[in-house]
Amino acid sequence: MTRSELTQLILAAKIRKELSWESIARALGASKEWVAAACLGQMTMTSEQARTLRGLLDLPEEAELLLQAVPYKGSLPTAIPTDPLLYRFYEILSIYGLAIKELIHEEFGDGIMSAIDFRMRIDREPDPQGDRVKIEMSGKFLPYKMY
Amino acid sequence: MTRSELTQLILAAKIRKELSWESIARALGASKEWVAAACLGQMTMTSEQARTLRGLLDLPEEAELLLQAVPYKGSLPTAIPTDPLLYRFYEILSIYGLAIKELIHEEFGDGIMSAIDFRMRIDREPDPQGDRVKIEMSGKFLPYKMY
Amino acid sequence: MTRSELTQLILAAKIRKELSWESIARALGASKEWVAAACLGQMTMTSEQARTLRGLLDLPEEAELLLQAVPYKGSLPTAIPTDPLLYRFYEILSIYGLAIKELIHEEFGDGIMSAIDFRMRIDREPDPQGDRVKIEMSGKFLPYKMY
Amino acid sequence: MTRSELTQLILAAKIRKELSWESIARALGASKEWVAAACLGQMTMTSEQARTLRGLLDLPEEAELLLQAVPYKGSLPTAIPTDPLLYRFYEILSIYGLAIKELIHEEFGDGIMSAIDFRMRIDREPDPQGDRVKIEMSGKFLPYKMY
Amino acid sequence: MTRSELTQLILAAKIRKELSWESIARALGASKEWVAAACLGQMTMTSEQARTLRGLLDLPEEAELLLQAVPYKGSLPTAIPTDPLLYRFYEILSIYGLAIKELIHEEFGDGIMSAIDFRMRIDREPDPQGDRVKIEMSGKFLPYKMY
Amino acid sequence: MTRSELTQLILAAKIRKELSWESIARALGASKEWVAAACLGQMTMTSEQARTLRGLLDLPEEAELLLQAVPYKGSLPTAIPTDPLLYRFYEILSIYGLAIKELIHEEFGDGIMSAIDFRMRIDREPDPQGDRVKIEMSGKFLPYKMY
Amino acid sequence: MTRSELTQLILAAKIRKELSWESIARALGASKEWVAAACLGQMTMTSEQARTLRGLLDLPEEAELLLQAVPYKGSLPTAIPTDPLLYRFYEILSIYGLAIKELIHEEFGDGIMSAIDFRMRIDREPDPQGDRVKIEMSGKFLPYKMY
Amino acid sequence: MTRSELTQLILAAKIRKELSWESIARALGASKEWVAAACLGQMTMTSEQARTLRGLLDLPEEAELLLQAVPYKGSLPTAIPTDPLLYRFYEILSIYGLAIKELIHEEFGDGIMSAIDFRMRIDREPDPQGDRVKIEMSGKFLPYKMY
Amino acid sequence: MTRSELTQLILAAKIRKELSWESIARALGASKEWVAAACLGQMTMTSEQARTLRGLLDLPEEAELLLQAVPYKGSLPTAIPTDPLLYRFYEILSIYGLAIKELIHEEFGDGIMSAIDFRMRIDREPDPQGDRVKIEMSGKFLPYKMY
Amino acid sequence: MTRSELTQLILAAKIRKELSWESIARALGASKEWVAAACLGQMTMTSEQARTLRGLLDLPEEAELLLQAVPYKGSLPTAIPTDPLLYRFYEILSIYGLAIKELIHEEFGDGIMSAIDFRMRIDREPDPQGDRVKIEMSGKFLPYKMY
């Protein structure tokens, strides 16, 4: 069983059992954002989380070890995503990318926002003109240093 | 003068005059995020903003009209950005993309977060273990409808 | 069963049962354009539509849940389509793209035609010199806003 | 002067003289859709149209001949357009492509919609929930024939 | 069974039964060029041709319907073909492309040679210095029209 | 002056002097197909042809030597041509490629049609239903040999 | 069985039976270079060679016909090979390509070295500072001809 | 002056002065293969060679230093060369690549033919059926070693 | 069984048996860096190593021969790796590449660092501000030579 | 002046003044690795370093400000480098990439080696069988954390 076959199993079981990411996240004791990414093969679970998930979704035995192995990360089937929801994030990067770069450097100097020491929250933002998706990203600033 | 030549002029003048995006944004009466994107050729200015920017940066006369023309958008020189700061955002999309998709659909059903009816804020988040970059995105949820 | 395996099942059953998209659309209570897209894995069905389609095409049980899950969208096997019928639409975008952009901006200002709040009709247009394909697209104009 | 340099000249003159595509189209005696495409280097003008356009926009002498030469067509700088307005049309092709193919074949049999014997109209469609962009395409159906 | 699996079946049966394209074409009542393309999944057969081919090659039952369905066209595994025989045609397009474009426009004005209302013949041209491959293509000229 | 700058000069002079490829070909004593390709930087002229062309088009002195140098061949700006006239030839290769391969091998065995020992003619084929473009290609068959 | 499945079978049998390409070549009566290429799906065998190879490697019956069919050629999984031994040949083309072109044109005029009427030898060249790989290529010069 | 501008200067001067690579190579005291590659920006000259070449071709003063700087190597404008002479070498790699790999490993074990400790000769091979291009490559075998 | 199927078997067995690369390396008598690469299909084992590994991981019989065959090397699924750990190495090459080139040429002249006569060590470097990954690469310098 | 034009100026001046990276690094008070990267447009200088470099290389006035601006990073002209010295590093990533990933995860768990909190040294390693290039990389380990 490869990791992407396991991802297929997880998604199928989640649909069949009509579970939400929220409820899986509660069972695993972590945020819904981290748990969804982990189930989709991007993060590494603890042995306890792996055992819990296996029970919750009736996964085969070898899934438990595989969920604890560090996966080869990257979840998009094409370099530029075709799915409209995902493409909009690529578009934001394309339209605002250089502006983001300018503003972070203006505030922090040369360096980057970490994508490893990083967390994210996705919420509904009620709005009379139509509710909005609100995404908060927080990543440690890592400065380039002279040596 | 093409729009990208104007962008070069703006960036050179900003460095020469030692202006910050914050101060340019105040002069133009909009957020620093929108103003930086507009100066970099991704948004369309009002005639008043174009006149103000021209004065602020000593731009040539034709810049004023060009800043009011709708630009061909997209600011990255390659499909996958080579700049480390920008690449991290591409990586977040690659690692968290499917998780974001799952969670937005779980909360809202089928549809997308708009990248047009959209706003963004970039802030410093003080942290004793090293300050963090905080990015808030807010986009209207647009549902797919049956017809 | 992945969503694209389900698409293969649907297409095979439709051929075997000699059903038209028109008749499937009538059974599902939506337009032929939306229904064909949904069957091909691009739209999300209601539970009633999924049950109806399953009955109509003798699909396996798990198809019913899968048709209600939001799919990963994008239906072309290559970035530039090789199929001549589809390529012509890519060519129209390539030849008329900038003209469309100029004319929409002239009429509406900076913004886009939504591909989400969108509908489409495909009809036969009788013509003595050879009938024509007529395609009407209608998408909400979404303006960029300053913030 | 290459054709794309001429396109830059035309766009700059149009902005400077504050002309609309509508008014240029009236002067040239053709639709705004065809005229915008022709000015952007995708169609071939008659000698009279070329002379009229040259006068209207104060173009240099050699422009007149160049406007009558058949151009190398294709107006997008990248295979997948980065501009959000244009990308939406690419997305429509990606999401609805196979559905369009199925429906045209169902109605007409094997063949294509011509992109040469083709015309297009772009209009504003008033709507209380926000005006819409309406695009009508009409292309002759060309059947594949056995031989 | 997908259409490309059927193509594999056809090619295997043709080798096993030691049939030539000439003889299959005679049985189907069309040119060898059209028949080879149809067998390889690029053209749509009549019900009679499909039945004949099925008998000739002992194909399974579902092949008969599949041969009458309009296929997703395009038969090359890579955008630039690696096979030397096929590459030479790509090379001819690369070397002579602009010359062909110039000469067709000189003779016919702006427009294209149709690839749909199109036929082709491949023949042996005896030559004392080594026989030659002779290919005749004939496609209707389709003019661009102003509107 | 690079070879592609010379090509631009030749095309501009041809338009300005309102010469046809036919007449240039007569002056150079070769077919219009070869001459157009040579002018566009794909073939090598004799010193006499280079001198004649220079006189005919008032080219600068260094053009004469450059026309006799073997060029770096390949005239398409992108791997898949965007120009509709040229794309149709790419499409013919995509749709009929494997059929052409099958038929040449059936007639000649393993080998290729030469694109070097090659000639081509482009003619108008009158037809009551609309004139047709006729293209004849003739290339020496080159067999693979065992060694 | 596809041709590439047959290639896998051949390679597996060769390893299992501990045969060298030299010995297979002797059995088939051709050079090791041609035989290795033929076994790897790039050349077409005679019926006698196919029968011999089938016996030698215990291949299934249908392999015999498949080895006599002209294959779709091209053996690299990516356009730029990742394997270091193969990449070095790509690198030689990249570094020496234009020099090779200049020198062949200087000696022969405009034309190419045939890759069809071609043979190759690979030998060990003993050298006190470390033995060397010696590759001799010989291809017929094919001149471009005016017409 | 960049290195590729210098290459243009060298090629133009060579044509204008009607020098052969053979004669330039004699003047510089190295093989024609190495000298052509060095002139085309792929090898590094000694100070004496640079001075000689500058005199021979009347190059500007800064050329002398530039010819002694190690260049950024790689001389092909596209990953897959469009020029037919060069493409044939790419085709040889594509067709014979895996066979070459098998045969070198059979003779030498795991390792590569060096493209650095490498030399090449290009010669005319007279042949009654048409002269042939003969290319000899010799590269040191470099074995992979366990550690 | 292909080599990449064997790689999957090895990885699965290593997880199931909870073995470390360190312990496998000790059993095979080579460094952990070389052994991990060899297990992942990039290096060639001796017959003794292959037998040992087969025993250690309960691999099927044919694995033993396959581990001794020279593999087709290159282990990344995409040209630019999506996995963050691997991407950082690509980024180092992108950011520091030209600097590395300049410094090696300054010290050694024109030539390369061998990737064949090469060894590597990966170690933990304790650091109070967070431990560091230390990578040492050592490759023989191979000079380009004139000939 | 763009940053890449400044890079050209710096390289030309360095050659003309016959300065080494070592000596420039000493003048700027940082390592040769960091200084070469900074001069090549990948790092940001302090105002003092910028003034020193300007004096050392007689750069124009605006260079001083530009050297202090954070550059758009990434120094390779193509995604896969063509230069042999640089390609070897890409090859090391391709061959050893997965092994490096396995070994870092074995030692540190899930996370990456930072390419920002990173330093590098390039040295000559004397060796009787030919001196070696020694590269030491040290990057902080950044662990993924659950949240």
One DSSP character per residue, H90-126 reads HHHHHHHHHHHHHHHHHHH-SEEEEEEEEEEEEEEE-
pLDDT mean across residues, chain A? 97
Stretches where chain D sits below pLDDT 50 are none
pLDDT of residue I82: 97
CATH 1.10.760.10 fits domain D3-68: no
F97-110: per-residue pLDDT in tens?
Answer: 999 999 999 999 99
CA distance linking residue C81 with residue C77, whole number of Å: 7
pLDDT level of residue J75 (50, 70, 90 thresholds): confident
For the cut 90, the answer to whether the pLDDT of residue J122 exceeds it is yes
In terms of Cβ atoms closer than 10 Å to its own Cβ (0-12, 13-18, 19+), residue E107 is middle
Residue E66 has which token pair?
């599949």
Query: What residues in B contact D12, CB-CB < 8 Å?
Result: 1, 62
pLDDT of residue C59: 98
Which of I16, I26, I88, I132 is labelled catalytic? I88
Q: Is F82 in contact with D65 (Cβ distance < 8 A)?
A: no
Identify the CA nearest to A125 among candidates B136, D130, B145: B136
Kindly list the distances between the CA atom of residue F16 and the CA atoms of C66, D68, G88, in Å, as whole numbers in the listed order.
64, 11, 49
Distance from CA of D61 to the nearest CA of C (A): 24
The distance of Cα B97 from the centroid of its chain, to the nearest Å, equals 20
Kindly identify which residue of chain E lies nearest to residue H81, measuring between CA atoms. E91
Kindly identify which residue of chain A lies nearest to residue B80, measuring between CA atoms. A79
pLDDT of residue D1: 85
pLDDT of residue H75: 86
Query: What residues in D contact C121, CB-CB < 8 Å?
Result: none
Q: Is B84 in contact with J76 (Cβ distance < 8 A)?
A: no
pLDDT mean across residues, chain I? 97
From the CB of residue A51, how many other CB atoms can be counted at a distance below 10 Å?
14
Q: What is the 3-state secondary structure (H, E, C) of A15-73?
A: HHCCCCHHHHHHHHCCCHHHHHHHHCCCCCCCHHHHHHHHHHHCCCHHHHHHCCCCCCC
Mean pLDDT value across residues I71-93: 97
pLDDT of residue B75: 86
Distance from CA of A125 to the nearest CA of D (A): 21
CATH 1.10.260.40 fits domain I3-66: yes
Percent of chain E past pLDDT 90, that is, above it, reads 97
CA distance linking residue H28 with residue C23, whole number of Å: 81
Kindly identify which residue of chain C lies nearest to residue F80, measuring between CA atoms. C80
pLDDT of residue J93: 98
Length of chain A: 147
pLDDT mean across residues, chain E? 97
Check residue J87 and give left, alpha or beta (phi > 0: left; psi -120 to 50: alpha): alpha
Chains G and B touch each other (3 or more Cβ pairs < 8 A): no
Residue E106 has which token pair?
């000189």
Q: Are H114 and I144 in contact (CB under 8 A)?
A: no
Length of chain C: 147
pLDDT of residue H131: 98
Considering CB atoms only, which of A84, A94, A95 is closest to D91?
A84
pLDDT level of residue E75 (50, 70, 90 thresholds): confident
Mean pLDDT value across residues J72-86: 96
pLDDT of residue B71: 97
Stretches where chain C sits below pLDDT 50 are none
Could you report the predicted ipTM of this complex, rounded to two decimals? 0.96
Mean pLDDT value across residues A7-24: 95
pLDDT level of residue H144 (50, 70, 90 thresholds): very high
Q: Is D44 in contact with E110 (Cβ distance < 8 A)?
A: yes
pLDDT of residue G24: 98
Mean pLDDT value across residues G92-112: 98
Q: Are A75 and A86 in contact (CB under 8 A)?
A: no
B88-128: per-residue pLDDT in tens?
Answer: 999 999 999 999 999 999 999 999 999 999 999 999 999 99
Which residue of H72, H85, H87 is the best one to mutate when testing the G interface, meaning the one whose CB has the most G CBs within 10 A?
H85
> Amino acid identity, residue J32?
K
H-helix segments, J58-125? 61-68, 84-108
pLDDT of residue D6: 97
Residue G139 has which token pair?
């291809």
Considering CB atoms only, which of D2, D69, D73 is closest to F84?
D73
Residue I66 has which token pair?
């396959």
For the cut 90, the answer to whether the pLDDT of residue G1 exceeds it is no
pLDDT of residue A80: 97
Query: What residues in A contact I83, CB-CB < 8 Å?
Result: 72-74
CA distance linking residue J146 with residue A36, whole number of Å: 12
pLDDT of residue D115: 98
CA distance linking residue B50 with residue D11, whole number of Å: 19
pLDDT mean across residues, chain F? 97
Query: What residues in H contact I109, CB-CB < 8 Å?
Result: 44, 70
Kindly identify which residue of chain F lies nearest to residue H5, measuring between CA atoms. F2
Which residues of A make CB contacts under 8 Å with I? 1-2, 62, 65-66, 69, 72-74, 76, 79, 115-116
Return the partners of chain F (3 or more C-beta pairs < 8 Å). Answer: C, D, E, G, H
Query: What residues in E contact F79, CB-CB < 8 Å?
Result: 79-80
Kindly identify which residue of chain F lies nearest to residue C88, measuring between CA atoms. F84
The CA R_g of chain A, rounded to the nearest whole Å, is 18
H-helix segments, F20-116? 21-28, 32-39, 47-57, 61-68, 84-108
pLDDT of residue D75: 86
Q: Is F101 in contact with G146 (Cβ distance < 8 A)?
A: no
Q: Which residues of A form the catalytic set? A: 88, 91, 114
B24-50: per-residue pLDDT in tens?
Answer: 999 999 999 999 999 999 999 999 999
A77-108: per-residue pLDDT in tens?
Answer: 999 999 999 999 999 999 999 999 999 999 99
Query: What residues in I contact B83, CB-CB < 8 Å?
Result: none
> Amino acid identity, residue C40?
L
CA distance linking residue I111 with residue I142, whole number of Å: 5
pLDDT level of residue H1 (50, 70, 90 thresholds): confident
F49-90: per-residue pLDDT in tens?
Answer: 999 999 999 999 999 999 999 999 998 999 999 999 999 999
G17-55: per-residue pLDDT in tens?
Answer: 999 999 999 999 999 999 999 999 999 999 999 999 999
For the cut 90, the answer to whether the pLDDT of residue A1 exceeds it is no
The distance of Cα C14 from the centroid of its chain, to the nearest Å, equals 17
Strand order in the sheet with J132-143: I111-125, I132-143, J132-143, J111-125
For the cut 90, the answer to whether the pLDDT of residue J119 exceeds it is yes
Q: Indicate the SS3 state at residue H49.
A: helix
Mean pLDDT value across residues H2-31: 95
∠ CA C4-C5-C7, rounded to 5°: 60
pLDDT level of residue I139 (50, 70, 90 thresholds): very high
**Matching CATH number, J84-143, of 2.40.110.10, 3.30.1160.10, 1.10.3720.10, 1.10.10.10:** 3.30.1160.10
Domain ranges in chain I are 3-66, 84-143
CB within 8 Å of I118: residues ≥ 6 apart: I137, I138, I139, I140, J92
Mean pLDDT value across residues E52-68: 96
I100-133: per-residue pLDDT in tens?
Answer: 999 999 999 999 999 999 999 999 999 999 999 9
